[in-house]
Structure 1
Amino acid sequence: MNAPSLSRALILLMATATGLAVASNYYAQPLLHSIAEQFGLSTASAGSIVIAAQLSYGAGLLLLAPLGDLFEQRRLITVMTAVSTLGLVISACAPSLPWLILGTALTGLFSVVAQILVPMAATLSEPHQRGRAVGTLMSGLLLGILLARTAAGFMAELGGWRSIYVLAAVLMAITALALYRSLPQHHSHAGLKYPALIASVFRLFFEEPVLRLRSLLGLLAFSLFALFWTPLAFLLAQGPYHYSDAVIGLFGLAGAAGALSANWAGRLADRGKGSLGTTVGLVVLLLSWVPLGFAQQSLLALLLGVLMLDLAVQLVHVSNQNAVIALRPEARTRLNAGYITCYFIGGALGSLLGTQLFQHQGWMGIVVAGLVIGGLALLAWGLANRKAA
């Protein structure tokens, strides 16, 4: 079934699946303080859980996501969702940090199913609705990332930090069944064998300057996202806040409003104004670090910074993704895989930088790094537009 065939209900199911898949990589973030206490870990060692999630997701994007151009996508999506569920089960039962990292890595590797669902939705949507469909799935993705923190904190209060992994495994198993029963069969017919398919991802970077630019912007934007969110649990667990896991998780709700910008960015792309969304997003991204500079003294400033940061990252990301998948319809999965690989490499670098800076320089070290990286992203975009003009 290759004709456009996505109903509103099916798009919402795909958005839910996208959110649940990616959420699996973020449950640990508000729980890092509790996990560190149970296993006797330093801030940097606990942060390795988040880094493992980001790196495995990046590896999955490079090695597994291009399979969407090789195999029938409904079956592939179902299998990958099931294996991601197995990783959650391992995390729930982990007796030590290495086992938790193993479960996290397995989940991260196969949760790239989200990045097969996004180009599939773009391909099966009518052209005039494509940006909105992608925006809906990206809203699901960001809501999954942000609400994962809230759900994890809440479940930790009820049954300890492991309980969120148990619940997530059950939900992912149900999702795998629902996707298999609801998705149309679809094959993109790339006409390539696996080695050539992977090589073609790298070749696309050499051939498409838009892909290179958008991947750089995505890397920088998501590095800022991770730079903030990874050490946040440690900031909120210490004075003057002394918050519990449940309260720390609630900060995901403050950022969830940023997901609403995804549909707006998608509509801008449908009207040929995706560059406007990128510009607005990068400016707000840089400015968000001004209130975040007062996060140690003011809860209001922290909440304002969270809202600005998440809204900006989503604007940039959806604008990037719509620009990338519009380049070559026959290579959407590979284009998306290349872009998102860079995106999550940025996340891993941001997580690593965030935990190291917080341990050695404190919160203001993170703020200074945020201002520098945000300025570099805006400069890169400005130079690219000047060159194009």
Structure 2
Amino acid sequence: MKKLYMIFCLNFIEKYRGRFKIYFELVYSMYTMEMEMFKMTIKESFELNKFIIFIMALTCTVTVANLYYCQPLLGQIAKSFNVTEANAGFVVTLTQVGYALGMLFLVPLGDIKERKKLIIEMLLLVSVFLFAAFISRNYYVLLVTSFLIGFTTIVPQLIVPFAAHLSKPEERGQVIGNVLSGLLIGILLSRVFSGIIGDILGWRNVYLIASLLMVSFLFIIVFLFPKSKPTSKISYKKLIFSMWGLIKREKVLREASINGALMFGSFSIFWTALVFLLESKVYNMGSKEAGFFGLVGIVGALAAPVVGKVADKKTPRFAVGFAIIFSTIAYVCFWGMGYKIYGLVIGVILLDLGNQTGQVSNQARVQAISDQERSRINTVFMVSYFIGGSIGSFVAAVFWQKFGWSGVCAIGMFFQIIAVIFHYFIYGTKFSIRNKYGQVR
């Protein structure tokens, strides 16, 4: 079996090495040129303004989209490789598992390395892996490239602590809210984009366009992003192991991480299963229609800056409570009215509003913990967040296959009930404490 696998890998490399060579040469030449520009355009002092916040949000939009292009395309992918819908769901699961591991092992580097250069390097790598997905002709090759796409799509999680570091303490919640609004818009529009392009040009071309987008944003970042000084001077090994100390020491971080995992788990359950529902006999729709539901969820993304202001003026934990309520009501709508378009629309608005409110508020809480450990704090929170998302994507495909839409709604509601129990009963209000700036966490 091992010998057959080696023969398969060698044949794959031999068959596509010409395409890879051309692509690598093009991307590497751009990278080399941009590194020279990088050296010439570095500035030691920098003032964060609205335009740079917008560019940061836009970068989050186009990069985080890499994680979600596949969701409306699962039906096409299943047919293309002649696999079941449950097996096609592993494309989503492995992408998010890769993302979680990338955050665990790569995002902490933002505390000890120059962030701008690190962001550029990650964009270079993910562009190559997206191109590999475009030319893949085997289901298992696609699974591997999906994992690698997730592993290197960590740019948004480098930008969030970067923005928090550059912002004033009294404006941090609003700045994070603006940046995260770009992230959620990317999550939602990625489904619209991939649904339309997939319907017209096929699922492979979605990955090709995404790869070219990553290369394009290298130029934007080189010219506009500021240089950042590393906030810590420790070895990589100590950097990784120090996160366990953060988990043990910071109660607020533990609470926010558990809440984030449960909230994003229920969010991923719905969006993974939605395409299967719309392609079923109930609706007889396709990937394009599934993608258009992302437009509905933009209402939640637009609320992010408002949520950030509430978190700055009142308490982030107060906003998290509302987020849980919004998402729980969303699943009531899905369960009771999921076979009606208006039921799905109402539920999508509430679910995306709840997810965005929860993420912005939890990020405002954890980013106020420490100035020197922001990347590691963000890693702990977001790894938990996407572990929840990976589990949600996996169980969504399994429960759809075995129990249909009712099963999907049941498991999503289960995640929400656990979130309610943790927020209101296990943790209560005992961890709403003030940081050194006087802000309530």
**Retained in 2: the 8 A contact 1:69–1:334?**
yes
Separation of aligned partners in 1, 2:171 and 2:329: 32
Residue 13 (structure 1) aligns with:
55
Equivalenced residue count is 389
Which of 28, 37, 40 aligns to 2:70? It is 28
Residue 290 (structure 1) aligns with:
332
Which of 89, 93, 96 aligns to 2:135? It is 93
Separation of aligned partners in 2, 1:33 and 1:141: 25
Q: Cα 1:246–1:385, aligned 2, differ >3 Å: closer, same or farther?
A: same
Separation of aligned partners in 1, 2:104 and 2:337: 36
Separation of aligned partners in 1, 2:278 and 2:103: 32
1:233 positional shift: 0.7
Residue 112 (structure 2) aligns with:
70
Structure 1 unaligned spans of 5+ = none
1:82 positional shift: 1.1
Residue 385 (structure 1) aligns with:
428
Counterpart check, 1:144 vs 2:186: yes
Residue 252 (structure 1) aligns with:
294
Which of 145, 161, 169 aligns to 2:203? It is 161
Q: Matched residue of 1:385: which SS?
A: coil
**Retained in 2: the 8 A contact 1:291–1:304?**
yes
Q: Matched residue of 1:27: which SS?
A: coil
Q: Cα 1:149–1:274, aligned 2, differ >3 Å: closer, same or farther?
A: same
Which of 243, 266, 276 aligns to 2:318? It is 276
Separation of aligned partners in 1, 2:192 and 2:177: 22
**Retained in 2: the 8 A contact 1:60–1:108?**
yes
Residue 417 (structure 2) aligns with:
375
**Retained in 2: the 8 A contact 1:28–1:152?**
yes
Residue 47 (structure 1) aligns with:
89
1:8 positional shift: 1.4
1:295 positional shift: 4.5
Separation of aligned partners in 2, 1:3 and 1:144: 30
Residue 398 (structure 2) aligns with:
356
1:387 positional shift: 4.4
1:386 positional shift: 4.7
Question: Match for 2:188: what amino acid?
Answer: L
Counterpart check, 1:193 vs 2:235: yes
**Retained in 2: the 8 A contact 1:3–1:124?**
no
Separation of aligned partners in 2, 1:300 and 1:260: 21
Which of 240, 261, 266 aligns to 2:308? It is 266
**Retained in 2: the 8 A contact 1:89–1:103?**
no
TM-score by length of 1: 0.97
Counterpart check, 1:183 vs 2:225: yes
Q: Which moved more, 1:373-382 or 1:333-342?
A: 373-382
Counterpart check, 1:106 vs 2:143: no
Q: Cα 1:39–1:295, aligned 2, differ >3 Å: closer, same or farther?
A: farther
Counterpart check, 1:335 vs 2:377: yes
Q: What is the RMSD computed on CA atoms of the aligned residues?
A: 1.3
Q: Cα 1:274–1:2, aligned 2, differ >3 Å: closer, same or farther?
A: farther
Counterpart check, 1:174 vs 2:216: yes
**Retained in 2: the 8 A contact 1:2–1:124?**
no
1:152 positional shift: 0.2
Q: Matched residue of 1:6: which SS?
A: coil
Runs ≥4 in structure 1, deviation > 3 angstroms?
Answer: 1-4, 386-389
Residue 39 (structure 2) aligns with:
none
Q: Cα 1:18–1:386, aligned 2, differ >3 Å: closer, same or farther?
A: closer
Q: Cα 1:254–1:151, aligned 2, differ >3 Å: closer, same or farther?
A: same
* Residues 164-191 of structure 1 deviation map (CA, whole Å, 9 limit, x = unaligned): 1111111111112211221111123312
Which of 121, 125, 130 aligns to 2:163? It is 121
1:2 positional shift: 6.0
Q: Identical aligned pairs, as a percentage?
A: 34
Question: Match for 2:209: what amino acid?
Answer: L
Separation of aligned partners in 2, 1:359 and 1:308: 26
* Residues 171-217 of structure 1 deviation map (CA, whole Å, 9 limit, x = unaligned): 11111221122111112331211000001112100010000000000
Q: Which moved more, 1:301-310 or 1:123-132?
A: 123-132
TM-score by length of 2: 0.86
1:269 positional shift: 2.0
**Retained in 2: the 8 A contact 1:143–1:256?**
yes
**Retained in 2: the 8 A contact 1:4–1:126?**
no
Residue 365 (structure 2) aligns with:
323
Q: Matched residue of 2:229: which SS?
A: coil
Which of 346, 352, 359 aligns to 1:310? It is 352
Question: Match for 2:313: what amino acid?
Answer: R
1:129 positional shift: 2.3
Question: Match for 1:106: what amino acid?
Answer: L
Separation of aligned partners in 1, 2:254 and 2:286: 42
